[in-house]
Amino acid sequence: MTASTTLKTLQQDTERLEKRLKEIPPEPGVYLMRDGTDEILYIGKSKKLRSRVRSYFRDSQRLSDRIAMMVRQIAEIEFIVTDTEVEALALEANLIKQHQPHYNVLLKDDKKYPYVCMTWSEKYPRIFITRKRRLKNNRDRYYGPYVDVRLLRQTLYLVKRLFPLRQRPKPLFKDRPCLNYDIGRCPGVCQDLITSEDYRKTLEKVAMVFQGRSGELIQLLQKQMEKAAEELNFESAAQIRDRIRGLDALHADQKVALPDDTLSRDAIALARDDRHCCIQLFQVRAGKLVGRLGYFAETLSGTPAAILQRVLEEHYLQVDPVEIPAEILIQYELPEGEILAEWLAKRRGRKVSLVAPQRQSKADLIEMVERNAGYELERTQKQRDRDAQSLQDLTEILDLPEIPKRIEGYDISHMQGSNAVASRVVFVDGVPAKQYYRHYKIQNPEVRIGRSDDFASLAEIIGRRFRKYLEDPNLNRQEDADFPDLVMIDGGKGQLSAVMAVLQGNVENPVLEELKVVSLAKQREEIFLPGESFPLETDAEQPGVQLLRRVRDEAHRFAVSFHRQQRLKQGRRSRLEEIPGLGFERQKQLLSHFHSIDYIREASLEQLQEVPGIGLHLAKGIYTYFHPDRSVIDS
């Protein structure tokens, strides 16, 4: 089947929708939802394809906001029929892995919990903690998300001291290793002092820690220690002994009392309110709690059992087969538990049991997991309540017609006019939404070194942000889904007046006239409104003002960080720009190869010619620039 290229959605074309639904058979299989540009929105499975797909378009069906938004974009539906539900589950998993559809993320990635990333796509993989799970390469692996951040950092800290690992994203020196190599913390990957194969063997052992297989790793290390002792290599045996002791100490206080301490098992449970579910998954290996993972989902995305089923499918889709335990304890009987168990068994190569315990120690473990999920949900609910209180207070302070959903904050950063930049930050429902953040470079030629103008800079940025409304008075808010309910300018009356002069201009647009703009001055945390000579009477510590301060501080941080980046780039390139015949692209090639001006200065003529695009003539020019008193022949 081929997906439609029309922009008309199925909801808009009910005749085509009914025809398409009738074509879908009531058999097990996988369905693919596509939008008008032929992009895959969602991939799902069902034992009865027709019923499942039809349910998305029923008026009576309660859909979450996320799924309802997806349904409004569906322009075509494809399906693949399979013989069994297990085949459908396996096919769905493969297709999701291949296409990574946007709406297949049941679990919210709100950067609340961190992951451990191992960049297996690199020659010498790095290992680090991140809150952004973005697969730039399918070979990279993410472990987590981990609820206990302190324990995660402690684990990684200890791992990097037990095993010689790459410590830096980039080499510190061009032609020699750094101190980490001398003290045994790094095997010298920057100078290829260890082969990629040997380094990967070390990292595979480290991965076992984050896979919950510390017990297997300890057994492996014990065999290596005994072998080293038999060969009279006592120094190596002592190093392995210290690693074993460190790994034992890592999980010494995490004993979980269960009848069978030799069995690996996971335990999953959730707690929920009317909006969100908090799901926790405990990883127990040989009676020890080695990991506690956390997820969030929307309550409307399904029943508690269906949510647990989907969480388990998504979780085990991302892990290696060796990480799948022999037993999974579940809070509720899953709607398709037999299918999931069969799929997991095929992936693992051995039987996997799904058990909903009702009594004794296993039921106690599920109760403990549920209790932890409840505590996390309660903590999240309190934060949401604080955000709601701040928004309500801000609405009353500014006399807004309704609570602002989207707040934008703007700030300027420069150093005496040089490298002037601006930032836009966005808060949605009182929470930073970093996917909407933007940087701007100030283009005004009057803003230059020695001459700063924050008023003109802010006016320029606001003009660029709302340019289409200024140029076309017929546009309305529906033309821009990201139109703000409130704009906050970092500054006082002067900055606010400059911005309002741009927005009001000579073009009358009712949308811009309704746009609420305020400024927040730093010294006394005073709020100014357009046309008002005096600030509003507020308390700097009341919730609404504190929310504006958070927006202001975030805009300032974001602007300053971008300004520093621009200054650093200019500083690195300033001297290279003085070299005759060395253009911008060649400058980038040089810096990419040598990483700093100092290394370029120290390079010989032959080393300079190793850079792509640098020939003998240009290499002589570069060398002569840095060594005017030295003959090129002497190099």
pLDDT one-digit tens code per residue, 68-100:
888 888 888 999 999 888 888 888 888 887 777
- According to the model, what pLDDT value does residue 1 have? 41
- According to the model, what pLDDT value does residue 236 have? 79
- According to the model, what pLDDT value does residue 633 have? 53
Q: Residue 424: what residue type?
A: R
Q: How far apart are CA 44 and CA 56, in angstroms?
A: 12
- According to the model, what pLDDT value does residue 395 have? 92
Q: How far apart are CA 178 and CA 190, in angstroms?
A: 9
> What element of type H or E holds 439?
strand 438-441
Is 122 a residue whose pLDDT tops 80?
yes
Q: Burial of 388 by CB count in 10 Å (0-12 exposed, 13-18 middle, 19+ buried)?
A: middle
> What element of type H or E holds 438?
strand 438-441
Count CB neighbours of 30 within 10 A: 24
* CA separation, residue 458 to residues 19, 344, 520, 600 (Å): 54, 56, 14, 39
Q: Is the dihedral of CA 415, 417, 421, 427 positive or negative?
A: positive
Cis peptide bond upstream of 357, omega within 30 = no
- According to the model, what pLDDT value does residue 635 have? 45
Q: Is the dihedral of CA 615, 619, 620, 622 positive or negative?
A: positive
- Summarize the confidence of residues 566-584 as an average pLDDT: 71
* Phi, psi for 277 (deg, rounded to 5): -115, 135
191-200 core/surface letters (b: 16 or more CB in 10 A; e: else): eeebeeeebe
Is 254 a residue whose pLDDT tops 60?
no
Is 154 a residue whose pLDDT tops 90?
no
pLDDT bracket for residue 5 (50, 70, 90): very low
Non-local CB neighbours of 453 within 8 Å, separated by 6+ positions: 417, 444, 446, 447
Q: How far apart are CA 316 and CA 149, in angstroms?
A: 22
List, for residues 374-412, the tens digit of each pLDDT value: 988 888 888 888 888 999 999 999 988 899 989 999 999
Transcribe 478-506 into DSSP letters. Answer: GG-TT--SEEEEES-HHHHHHHHHHHHSS
Among 14-18, 154-158, 518-522, name the one with the lowest average pLDDT.
154-158
More confident residue, 426 or 625: 426
pLDDT over 90 percentage in the chain: 13
Domains identified in the chain and CATH numbers: 14-104 (3.40.1440.10), 265-379 (3.30.420), 406-560 (3.30.420.340), 575-634 (1.10.150.20)
- Summarize the confidence of residues 411-423 as an average pLDDT: 83
Is 64 a residue whose pLDDT tops 90?
no
- Summarize the confidence of residues 349-353 as an average pLDDT: 90
- According to the model, what pLDDT value does residue 570 have? 66
> Are 204 and 198 a contacting pair, CB within 8 Å?
no
Is 259 a residue whose pLDDT tops 50?
yes
The tokens for 560 are 């300053």
- Across the chain, mean pLDDT equals 82
List, for residues 459-517, the tens digit of each pLDDT value: 889 888 888 877 777 776 666 667 899 999 998 888 888 888 888 765 666 667 778 99
Q: Is the dihedral of CA 22, 24, 27, 33 positive or negative?
A: negative
